[in-house]
Structure 1
Amino acid sequence: MEFGVLGGLSVEDSDGRHLPTAPKQRQLLGLLLLHAGEVMPVRTCVSEIWGEYPPPSAATTLQTYVMHLRRLLARMPSVGSREAAHERLRTTGQGYLISVRTDELDLLRFEQFVGQAGRATDDYATMARLLSSALALWDRPVLADVRTGPVLQSAVTHWERRRLEVHEAYLDALLRIGRHRDVLAELAVLTRRHPTHETLHARYMTALYQTGRVGDALDVAARLTSRLARDLGVAPGPAIGRLQSAIRRGGSIVAPFPPALPSVPGLRRA
């Protein structure tokens, strides 16, 4: 069985795809999977699905949604029974918990790769390989085809930020092993997507300079300076200034940032 949240919501096994069609049931399943192995309180589920003003019947309707999700699981050959579905999706205390193994959920596999990369101290080639495997699990934003309420939206924002952190560490690892040309296309896209992100621009400047494109590297700095002034009313930090000076002098430049990965992702609870 495989569950997916890094893109569209998916539930698959050898018998094919098994997904609820009702939007609120999909919303609940996405919420539970993003917090797999954790109890999601009833009040949190209700807040996600109905917002600030839930109907009086919200808790009872939520129980119905859970029942429908269990029926869906029970129909899957890899689950096979109502009892097994109850073990997968349990009522625990004041909430619900979905139980999945690491190899069954793309989000848990992603964090497993990231954790392994974080332990590859100073072995930047191994780190790059593991982070590439982690990033390959994503194809679209988290739960791209699921309606999101306040709780899910906070979680989606968190995981998109996490994805960018991991992507930055991956690029840093490639820069550390001298693969400057390989990161140019990705950094061009990322700096357009994040036009005031100074560390992304510093990485792009470094890669351009190391591939002989001095003028382009200085142009990146100029565009960043202009955008920061226009949008935020600030100037770039000292790291950009030092990098500009080194490029103008034709000095030696190494990757500006050592690959760094937070070991515990964490989620802000609603």
Structure 2
Amino acid sequence: MATGDEPPHFRVLGTFEVTRGNHRCTPTAPKQRALLAMLALHANEFVPTSRIVDHLWSRNAPRSAVAALHGYVTSVRRVLTPSWVGSRNSHPFLRTRSSGYVLVLEPHQLDLTRFRELARQGQAAMADGDCARAWEKFAVALCLWRGSPLADLRETGTFDHDIARLEKEYLELLRNRFDVMLCNGDGHAAVFDLEELCQTHPLWERFHEQLMLALCQAERRADALTAYARAYRLLSNQAGIEPGPRLRAMHQLILNGEDPFDRVHRHERVLTDLGRTVSP
């Protein structure tokens, strides 16, 4: 990397952005932007030329596609490192390999890598019973999200699978964060968000379960039973299924007037035990 060129940073958890220092350097040409976004999603992985061509042209590539791709790569390299001069294999970030390319990035250069590492650290803290540390890691991870992932590339349709995968990772982190809130006795503060999630993602039974727990923690047990009835209707109408063992066990526990929070994480053990005895 030539003197004066700052390393680029990539953001995919929102609109796709590439910055160098305080300046944006995201390619404006659609295929160059899509190429770089694809490589960023697979940072430090070899991506075959054939896969890139299929991605950029949706399997309707012209005969000139490979030659055009070489041109896009050259342009992207100049965007990433304006003063770079050298062979195609010597670029500090976008390297040519036999029949493909690799975008070489340090963890701090890509928001997705940072998000996943923070999520992993938060999950490890949860496993150790350190809810305070887990909350801290999850909070920092969520701050990296700026909206729908790859929002400006969504309409191309070529990133549908990637977007769905990223949105699932986001929901899983939200689920873990709500577990931490319940662990800390802050379920009352999660009720509104969980009600929205139960409506927008009705097949995620864990959100329904967490909502019931949060309502119990807010001393709204009757509302918790109503939430179960609503979950039953949503699952039945949208998927043709009944609530699973964990959710049914939670419902029974509330009906019995038992307290799922008499000890930290006790509800997890109770639900697991009850889940084994409830027929599917």
What is the TM-score of this pair, normalised by structure 1? 0.87
User: Does the alignment pair 1:109 with 2:117?
Assistant: no
User: Does the alignment pair 1:134 with 2:141?
Assistant: yes
**Candidates 49, 70, 87, aligned match of 2:92:** 87
Identity of aligned residues (%): 33
For 1:65 and 1:35, the matched residues in 2 are separated by: 18
Structure 1 position 150, deviation (Å): 6.8
Residue 263 of structure 1: aligned partner:
none
- Aligned Cα RMSD in Å? 2.0
Greater relative CO, 1 or 2 (CA 8 Å, sep 6+): 1
For 1:148 and 1:107, the matched residues in 2 are separated by: 21
**Structure whose CA Rg is larger:** 2
SS of 2:153's partner is: coil
Is residue 48–residue 148 contact of structure 1 (8 Å, CA) maintained in 2? no
Q: Deviations over 1:227-265 (max 9, x none)?
A: 22222222111222221222123211146559xxxxxxx
1:108-187 pair list within 5 angstroms: 108-120=113-125, 121-147=128-154, 152-187=159-194
Q: 1:156 to 1:107 in 2, by over 3 A?
A: same
Q: 1:249 to 1:177 in 2, by over 3 A?
A: same
What is the TM-score of this pair, normalised by structure 2? 0.84
1:5-24 pair list within 5 angstroms: 5-24=12-31
User: Does the alignment pair 1:235 with 2:242?
Assistant: yes
Residue 253 of structure 1: aligned partner:
260
For 1:74 and 1:52, the matched residues in 2 are separated by: 30
Between 182-191 and 103-112, report the one with greater CA deviation.
182-191
Is residue 142–residue 159 contact of structure 1 (8 Å, CA) maintained in 2? yes
Aligned length: 254
Residue 96 of structure 1: aligned partner:
101
Structure 1 position 183, deviation (Å): 1.6
Residue 72 of structure 1: aligned partner:
79
For 2:85 and 2:193, the matched residues in 1 are separated by: 47
For 1:59 and 1:152, the matched residues in 2 are separated by: 20
Structure 1 position 160, deviation (Å): 1.3
Q: 1:224 to 1:88 in 2, by over 3 A?
A: same
Structure 1 letter corresponding to 2:85: R
Q: Which runs of 5+ in 1 are unaligned?
A: 259-270
